[in-house]
Amino acid sequence: MSNVLPRLRMNLDFMPSPVEDRPGLLIRDPFQYSEATLIVPPPLVPVLEYYDGERSETDLRSALFEITGDLQVGEILHHLTDTLRTAGFLEDEIYQAMRADREREFAQSPHREPAHSGTAYPDDEPGLRAMMREYLDGEPPQRDGLIGIAAPHVSPEGGWRCYRAAYGGLSRDYADRTFVILGTSHYGQPERFGLTRKSWITPWGEARPDLTLIDELQAKAGPAVAMEDYCIAIEHSIEFQVIFLQHLFGPNVKILPILCGAYARSVYQGGMPEDDEGVKRFLGTLGEIGAREAHKLFWVLGVDMAHMGRRYGDPFQAEAERGEMADVMDRDRKRIGSIADGDAAGFWNQVRERHDDLKWCGSSPFYTFLKAMPQARGALTRYEQWNIDPVSVVSFAGMRFTG
């Protein structure tokens, strides 16, 4: 009896190869347990489904024979399996060891090291300063009375106009606040909130965690808290906000970073997010902190909106502001209107429609903010749609809140 093939990890990123002379399926590890990136050539893409933990090498050998017409397919079989295994892309002991090493490394480090410097933004201070000046300088000063902003978490290169619409001209009077950063948890568990007591390192320096408030959330908010959440080590939705805040207010800004997991139970099963007891306790505790510390806090939401097109599983090719995306713009703006009005229930009812077919990855941070700060009222400062690739679009916005 031949060996059963291990299961291919389903928490990987799969996308068409962007390399013109190397077509196929690109596979990479968003959790960064593995640094490998593979491009599987088109003829072999269909056989990846045989790595399901149930089918055998014999099954795969037969499939390869059908593709190649060559009985001597053993070399292809073993090369494919060994490549996936060495990369850490199969659910086996190699992957488990990689995962344990990375999570142990993060847990033992006193700092949260930058995960996206050198790729999404410059990894040196002069380069980062030049980028920030290009994106933010020249914006007129904003009036006082703000309690928070919403900015994208798309790459600064793609979303800089909306980053500018959110951050541009913020008064230095906010420098002494604790910045409560609500970021989308792209990889964390639903109905969970990721926290860390680590300082955040960037090319600017070291942002300080507000340990008092972090400890209060951990103590009072119950099982919904994921303390020292490994997802924090790789997540960009908070990291990008930190570099903008440090540019404006200095490297030693004080932050309360919170990764907000999806409210999936509500989206797919009905009801409101706080019907989950853990979510209810967390939102209640965060609301108590928001009311008590009102003038000591400034809220920053790292949020994108709709994700449409082929990359995101839609059957159509998405083009910004055209075709299907014109309707998406209307629906986005309706949701933004409910957020601006402080209408948490109205906003969430729209999210639940069609199980959030717009795929707003910022819906949970927005809802968390609206529940924690029910007096907040917002204003849209800029809305955009951006083709992240030729057939896929992400929408995002800049917003400012008073209250």
> Which residues are within 8 A (CB) of 232 and not within 5 positions of it... i.e. 6 or more apart?
106, 112, 194, 195, 196, 198, 238, 257, 259
Torsion sign across C-alpha atoms 214, 215, 216, 221 = positive
pLDDT at 143: 61
pLDDT at 121: 97
pLDDT at 2: 59
93 in the same domain as 56 = yes
pLDDT tens-digit readout, 96-152: 999 999 999 999 999 999 999 999 999 999 999 999 999 998 777 666 689 999 999
Cα 298 to Cα 315: distance, rounded to the nearest angstrom = 40
Does an H or E element contain 334, and which? helix 324-340
Q: Does 99 reside within a domain?
A: yes
Mean pLDDT of 149-158: 97
Residue 87, strand partner residues: none
Q: Does 2 reside within a domain?
A: no
119 in the same domain as 89 = no
Residue 223 near residue 282, CB atoms below 8 Å:
no
Cα 323 to Cα 326: distance, rounded to the nearest angstrom = 6
Does an H or E element contain 227, and which? strand 225-227
Strands 254-260 and 111-112: unpaired
Residue 211 near residue 227, CB atoms below 8 Å:
no
Structural domain boundaries, residue 26: 13-104
pLDDT tens-digit readout, 40-49: 999 999 999 9
Q: State whether residue 394 is helix, strand or coil.
A: strand
The residue from 71, 104, 137 where one domain ends is 104
Please give the mean pLDDT across all residues of the chain: 94
Which of 55-59, 179-183, 388-392 has the highest mean predicted lDDT (pLDDT)? 179-183
Structure tokens at 110: 């006193």
Q: Does 7 reside within a domain?
A: no
Number of domains comprising the chain: 2
Structure tokens at 164: 């500018």
Q: Does 241 reside within a domain?
A: yes
